[in-house]
Chains A and B, each alone.
Chain A
Amino acid sequence: MLQMFLRRLFLGAITVAIVSMIIFAGVEILPGDACTAFLEREAQGRVLENCREELDLNRPAVVRYLDWASDALRGDLGVSANGQRSIAEMVGARLQNSLLLAACALIVGVPTAIFLGVVSGLWRDRPVDLVLSTGAIFAMTIPEFVSATVLILVFSVWLGWLPGIVLTSANAPASEFFPEIILPVVVLAMVMTAHILRTVRSSVIEVMNSDYVQMATLKGVPYWRMVFRHALPNALLPAINVVALTIAWLLGGVVVIEVVFNYPGLGRMMIDAISDRDLPVVQAIALIVATVYVGVNLTADLLTMVANPRLRTLYTRK
């Protein structure tokens, strides 16, 4: 088990390393560099040379990559091209905000999704299930910016119940984001609920048709006891992985929502950095998001292994 864990950790580290190379190479291939972006029209002749000298851009790419990577390992993500501020500091606050958004969405979304998925699976093909399944498909297919806009229109513009846009500054403490954070959380929760609900539903249906559920019924186990003791522990195993993917998505990929609601998270910072051609920041965020993805998936796999006795034996035997 420990050996297995160490192996997975090692593979995860390699994945992150490869991703970091791709990120670095991608930025390297783009025409121009931090200096041309920063100096804009003055980027020529001596000024450009001096700038490059100052930022050490004249050294070979491999050396610069190794420098960047080893600094990143120590938590130093370098300085931004515009304003020369420490990226670690800038990202820190944004990451906290993204975590806050993700945590709220998870706290709301995951229990709802699992509950509705189980309901939908147990009452398969009944009206409840039809409503929930159809609703889930709608929530999945309507793009977030559309549902976000509709919610803003209804709850902020027409009803005036909730603020439609986040005006709190990036460095404000978490408590100040309420109630502005409610609408973005609702939109995110809707999308993720749909995904998790569908996985849980099909898994519940499969398990409820399994031989052991039939056996439990024929053994005289009362229905709800059968559901909670025999069916759900097995049916919820696949949900762990979907939840993990959702967490990863929440932490890195909710760019659209952050832009629509003007939420100061990592995603919007990334967009801003791209439009400013602030390449060191882009690199840093991409690296963080990749690490989060790998870490969350690793955690999910380990959890599945702990929760599933069959996998546990498989790996302890080895």
Chain B
Amino acid sequence: MTDTPVIQLSDLSIGFTGRAGHTLPVLRNIELTVRPGESIGLVGESGSGKSTVALAAMGYLKRGLRVLGGSATFEGHDMFALSRKELESLRGGHLALIPQNSGQSLTPTLRIGAQLTEALRLHSRLDPAQFPARVLELLGQVRLPDPQAITRRYPHELSGGQQQRVAIAMALAGEPRALLLDEPTTGLDVTTQAHILELLRDLARETGMAMVYVSHDLGAIARVCDRVVVMYAGEVVMEGSARQVLTAPTHPYARGLLASIPKLSDPHLPMALGGRPPAPGGAGDGCAFVDRCALASDLCRTSRPMLAPGPGGAPVRCHHADRADTLPMSSQGDHAARAEAGTAPVLSLQDLEIRYSKPGILDRLRGREDTRPATVDDITISIAKGETLGLVGESGSGKSTILKTIAGLLPPADGEIRFDGDAPLPRSVEQRGPDHLRRIQLIFQNPDDSLNPRHTIAEILEQPLKLYFGLSGTALQDRCVEILERVRLGGHYLDRLPSQLSGGEKQRVAVARAFAANPDLVLCDEVTSALDVSVQAAVLELLNDLKAAQGTTYVFVSHDLAVVRALSDRVAVLYQGRLCEIGPSAEVYALPSHPYTEVLLGAVLEPDPDTVPKLTADDVIELSPPAKGCPFQRRCPRKIGAKCDTDTPPWQTRDDGHAIRCHIPLDDLHRQQHADS
């Protein structure tokens, strides 16, 4: 009985009709079997069709898509043959979905209580009088504090982690036998993500429901899933137990994907996977991965491999699976280029204080001081020439705020910024001269937002060149081509618009634009967060090469500790706009650590089924820093007493420049942390 599949996709192909009238497949011959209580991970790059698979299992197709062949069944019901009424009773009941972005998936005009009650009314056999109690029970089950208050809130009044918990509670309302999760933790902080994943693991165990977990994050998959299905260009390319896929993958793509993930334990740069996946319908007769594969042979170009048991027994879609183990799987990229020792600081921040709020007119007239704690306070950092400083912390830690202030976009409330030993840098960008503007460049998180969609790549690159160097005519043209080649794009990109480029290519253009100004200092704000891991690896490699060639100094902001480790010489850890720890990256990632760094590091998920995250502090999101004492006092698992609430902790600095701001003496801290690990 237990072997009857809950969800079964058989030979399922889904596609759309392209502009020229051809049918373009998005999914090709998908086979997927999910048994009761099993949790399956679906991994792949964006565009690989993994979300489409999850939605198809619910009998749902995005606008424009249609089934080309095959079937999707849930407990024997053919999902694409059911009537609308039958679908409605299954969806959200025995088969539920947890969406990627629950912030946007909860209806903004309805209170949380109303949305949960609706789910109960649709799928629960309870007496309506019991609904309010059941709503509270569900919210408690997903470990939300104060459920009563939550029911009265609107979705926008909750934090990202809370919204995700509400979405999970809503899915549980129908007592599902299978749960589909579409990137449920993408976009959440590491600590929140780790807590949500633990919750899902526990719930799966408690309720015995099957899970299909869609994610590009192999770390999350490793934590939650028994079996893993790797997708590429709308096909299943490999399938097996989590251990098999993550430790001994037999498909070249799976190996490449693993190699491109930066790992905490590994100070090397991750290895990029070159090329890009074929567009829908562009795979031709051969293997879809052939253009990016190191093992490709003539056979791969002419014949599409079948999904067949490979070495180790796991099904794999490759002609040369037996040779896949010759490909590297861990990051064997370069070491990040290092700064020369003893050079003068190129940038120093002195007692920087930043506030978003300004005192109101009335308060200013009455001469009242703003007594609220500053968003960012007491930041003193100096960065040597050619050095990369990583800034890490959860969302709301003030890391991007500091970048904006250095760039002059957000003048500081107090303190000064010195650049290249000069007099203090003017506070705002309007007051800075063209030379300062040129020498400090900023690269943003999302190239879709930072590149003007109506400008061609040439126009985008010409602007800094005209502005700072007064180039024109062929000199300008030549320089654009040269810059594009430096970011490995080439002159044929000049006439294109950003929309005609892939995500990775767009971010390269953004990098090229920053480097067109020939800057001394480049501020990188989460520059790889919006990219796929394989593309992220390529952008990291590019940044590192440019640094090696030009001695550029970077301030690199990211929430991903492994990415920061791969690129940075020194790392600063921020909590609530205050520095907790700063030092050479090897030291910061080793013991002893500030308790907050310890919490962050413990929550990082490695793509390895054997590592277990160490969850210590709660994943509560604090909206403002405490008025006095240690900024981390309210969440700290090693809090020693009233001193932490009242006194600002001292900096304890070691010989190697590693400094921790904590009341606990470093030796004690080291001993405690060593004992716990």
Q: Among the listed stretches B105-113, B292-300, B590-598, which one makes contact with chain A, having 4 or more residues with CB under 8 Å of it?
A: B105-113
Contact with B along A206-227 (1 / 0, CB 8 A): 0001111011111111110000
User: By the criterion CB–CB under 8 Å, are B110 and A220 in contact?
Assistant: no
User: By the criterion CB–CB under 8 Å, are A221 and B118 in contact?
Assistant: yes
Inter-chain CA distance A209–B99, complex, in Å, is 14
User: By the criterion CB–CB under 8 Å, are B106 and A212 in contact?
Assistant: yes
Residue of chain A at shortest CB distance from B111: A309
- State whether the Cβ of A134 lies closer than 8 Å to any Cβ in chain B: no
Residues 83-108 of B contacting A (Cβ, < 8 Å): 84-85, 87-93, 96-97, 99-101, 104-108
Residue of chain A at shortest CB distance from B87: A220
Contact with A along B103-140 (1 / 0, CB 8 A): 01111111000000011001100000000000000000
Contacting B101 at CB < 8 Å: which of A211, A220, A234? A211
The number of inter-chain residue pairs (CB within 8 angstroms) is 82
Q: How many of A's residues come within 8 Å of B, CB to CB?
A: 23
Q: Among A212, A222, A310, which residue has the most Cβ atoms of chain B within 10 A?
A: A212
Inter-chain CA distance A68–B99, complex, in Å, is 62
**B123 cross-chain contacts in A, Cβ below 8 A:** 220
Contacting B107 at CB < 8 Å: which of A218, A222, A234? A234
- State whether the Cβ of B154 lies closer than 8 Å to any Cβ in chain A: yes
**B170 cross-chain contacts in A, Cβ below 8 A:** 219
**A229 cross-chain contacts in B, Cβ below 8 A:** 107, 110, 118
Contact with A along B551-584 (1 / 0, CB 8 A): 0000000000000000000000000000000000
Residues 178-230 of A contacting B (Cβ, < 8 Å): 209-212, 214-223, 229-230
Residue of chain A at shortest CB distance from B174: A220
User: By the criterion CB–CB under 8 Å, are B109 and A308 in contact?
Assistant: yes
User: By the criterion CB–CB under 8 Å, are A215 and B88 in contact?
Assistant: no
Contacting A313 at CB < 8 Å: which of B88, B101, B119, B154? B154
- State whether the Cβ of B58 lies closer than 8 Å to any Cβ in chain A: yes
Contact with B along A303-318 (1 / 0, CB 8 A): 0000111100100000
User: By the criterion CB–CB under 8 Å, are A212 and B156 in contact?
Assistant: no
- State whether the Cβ of B495 lies closer than 8 Å to any Cβ in chain A: no
User: By the criterion CB–CB under 8 Å, are B109 and A234 in contact?
Assistant: yes
- State whether the Cβ of A233 lies closer than 8 Å to any Cβ in chain B: yes
**A313 cross-chain contacts in B, Cβ below 8 A:** 154, 156-157
Residue of chain A at shortest CB distance from B104: A211
Residue of chain B at shortest CB distance from A237: B109
- State whether the Cβ of B651 lies closer than 8 Å to any Cβ in chain A: no
Inter-chain CA distance A219–B168, complex, in Å, is 12
Known interface pairs A309-B156, A313-B154. Does A218 touch B89 (Cβ–Cβ under 8 Å)?
no
User: By the criterion CB–CB under 8 Å, are A215 and B122 in contact?
Assistant: no
Residue of chain B at shortest CB distance from A314: B156
Inter-chain CA distance A220–B122, complex, in Å, is 7
Minimum CB–CB distance for B611 against chain A, Å: 32
Inter-chain CA distance A209–B104, complex, in Å, is 11
- State whether the Cβ of B589 lies closer than 8 Å to any Cβ in chain A: no
Minimum CB–CB distance for B460 against chain A, Å: 29
Inter-chain CA distance A302–B84, complex, in Å, is 39
Contacting B90 at CB < 8 Å: which of A210, A220, A221? A220
Minimum CB–CB distance for B51 against chain A, Å: 11
Inter-chain CA distance A266–B92, complex, in Å, is 57
Residue of chain A at shortest CB distance from B91: A220
Minimum CB–CB distance for A55 against chain B, Å: 43
Inter-chain CA distance A310–B154, complex, in Å, is 8
Inter-chain CA distance A313–B108, complex, in Å, is 12
**B58 cross-chain contacts in A, Cβ below 8 A:** 218
User: By the criterion CB–CB under 8 Å, are A218 and B110 in contact?
Assistant: no
Minimum CB–CB distance for B456 against chain A, Å: 29
- State whether the Cβ of B63 lies closer than 8 Å to any Cβ in chain A: yes
User: By the criterion CB–CB under 8 Å, are B154 and A212 in contact?
Assistant: no
**B468 cross-chain contacts in A, Cβ below 8 A:** none
- State whether the Cβ of B493 lies closer than 8 Å to any Cβ in chain A: no
User: By the criterion CB–CB under 8 Å, are A212 and B108 in contact?
Assistant: yes
Inter-chain CA distance A209–B170, complex, in Å, is 21
User: By the criterion CB–CB under 8 Å, are B108 and A218 in contact?
Assistant: no
Known interface pairs A212-B106, A234-B107. Does A218 touch B154 (Cβ–Cβ under 8 Å)?
no
- State whether the Cβ of B80 lies closer than 8 Å to any Cβ in chain A: no
Known interface pairs A219-B119, A221-B122, A229-B110. Does A211 touch B88 (Cβ–Cβ under 8 Å)?
no
Inter-chain CA distance A217–B61, complex, in Å, is 11
Q: Among A215, A220, A307, which residue has the most Cβ atoms of chain B within 10 A?
A: A220
**B104 cross-chain contacts in A, Cβ below 8 A:** 210-212
Contact with A along B54-93 (1 / 0, CB 8 A): 0100101001000000000000000000001101111111
Known interface pairs A211-B104, A215-B106. Does A221 touch B88 (Cβ–Cβ under 8 Å)?
yes
**B156 cross-chain contacts in A, Cβ below 8 A:** 309-310, 313
Known interface pairs A209-B63, A233-B109. Does A215 touch B174 (Cβ–Cβ under 8 Å)?
no
Inter-chain CA distance A229–B122, complex, in Å, is 14
**B157 cross-chain contacts in A, Cβ below 8 A:** 313
Inter-chain CA distance A217–B119, complex, in Å, is 11
**A307 cross-chain contacts in B, Cβ below 8 A:** 109
Inter-chain CA distance A287–B16, complex, in Å, is 57
Inter-chain CA distance A157–B156, complex, in Å, is 58
User: By the criterion CB–CB under 8 Å, are B154 and A309 in contact?
Assistant: yes
Inter-chain CA distance A212–B167, complex, in Å, is 11
Inter-chain CA distance A194–B87, complex, in Å, is 37
Residue of chain A at shortest CB distance from B93: A220
Known interface pairs A211-B105, A212-B108, A234-B109. Does A220 touch B154 (Cβ–Cβ under 8 Å)?
no
User: By the criterion CB–CB under 8 Å, are B106 and A220 in contact?
Assistant: no
Inter-chain CA distance A308–B92, complex, in Å, is 27
Contact with A along B614-658 (1 / 0, CB 8 A): 000000000000000000000000000000000000000000000
**B174 cross-chain contacts in A, Cβ below 8 A:** 220
Known interface pairs A209-B63, A310-B156, A313-B154. Does A221 touch B92 (Cβ–Cβ under 8 Å)?
yes
User: By the criterion CB–CB under 8 Å, are B108 and A220 in contact?
Assistant: no
User: By the criterion CB–CB under 8 Å, are A218 and B93 in contact?
Assistant: no
User: By the criterion CB–CB under 8 Å, are B119 and A212 in contact?
Assistant: no
**A219 cross-chain contacts in B, Cβ below 8 A:** 91-92, 96-97, 118-119, 122, 170
User: By the criterion CB–CB under 8 Å, are B97 and A215 in contact?
Assistant: yes
Inter-chain CA distance A212–B118, complex, in Å, is 14
User: By the criterion CB–CB under 8 Å, are A220 and B99 in contact?
Assistant: no
Inter-chain CA distance A221–B107, complex, in Å, is 12
**A308 cross-chain contacts in B, Cβ below 8 A:** 108-109
Q: Among B109, B123, B154, which residue has the most Cβ atoms of chain A within 10 A?
A: B109
Contacting A230 at CB < 8 Å: which of B63, B88, B93, B107? B107
Minimum CB–CB distance for A304 against chain B, Å: 12
**A233 cross-chain contacts in B, Cβ below 8 A:** 109-110
**B93 cross-chain contacts in A, Cβ below 8 A:** 220
Inter-chain CA distance A209–B96, complex, in Å, is 20
Minimum CB–CB distance for A138 against chain B, Å: 28
User: By the criterion CB–CB under 8 Å, are B109 and A309 in contact?
Assistant: yes
Minimum CB–CB distance for B402 against chain A, Å: 24
Minimum CB–CB distance for B136 against chain A, Å: 19
Residues 405-454 of B contacting A (Cβ, < 8 Å): none
Q: Among A219, A223, A307, A310, which residue has the most Cβ atoms of chain B within 10 A?
A: A219
Inter-chain CA distance A260–B86, complex, in Å, is 57
Known interface pairs A309-B108, A309-B154. Does A215 touch B99 (Cβ–Cβ under 8 Å)?
yes
Contacting A223 at CB < 8 Å: which of B84, B100, B154? B84
User: By the criterion CB–CB under 8 Å, are A218 and B109 in contact?
Assistant: no
Minimum CB–CB distance for B74 against chain A, Å: 13
Contact with A along B154-192 (1 / 0, CB 8 A): 101100000000010010001000000000000000000
Apart from A215-B99, A219-B118, A220-B122, 17 more pairs, CB < 8 Å = A209-B63, A211-B99, A212-B105, A212-B107, A212-B108, A218-B97, A219-B97, A219-B170, A220-B87, A220-B92, A223-B84, A229-B110, A233-B109, A234-B108, A309-B156, A310-B154, A313-B156
17 A–B pairs (Cβ distance < 8 Å), ordered by A:
A211-B101, A214-B60, A215-B97, A215-B99, A215-B106, A219-B92, A219-B96, A219-B170, A220-B88, A220-B93, A220-B174, A221-B92, A222-B88, A223-B84, A234-B107, A234-B108, A310-B154
Question: Top 7 A-B pairs ranked by shortest CB distance?
Answer: A220-B92, A219-B92, A215-B105, A220-B91, A211-B104, A309-B154, A233-B109
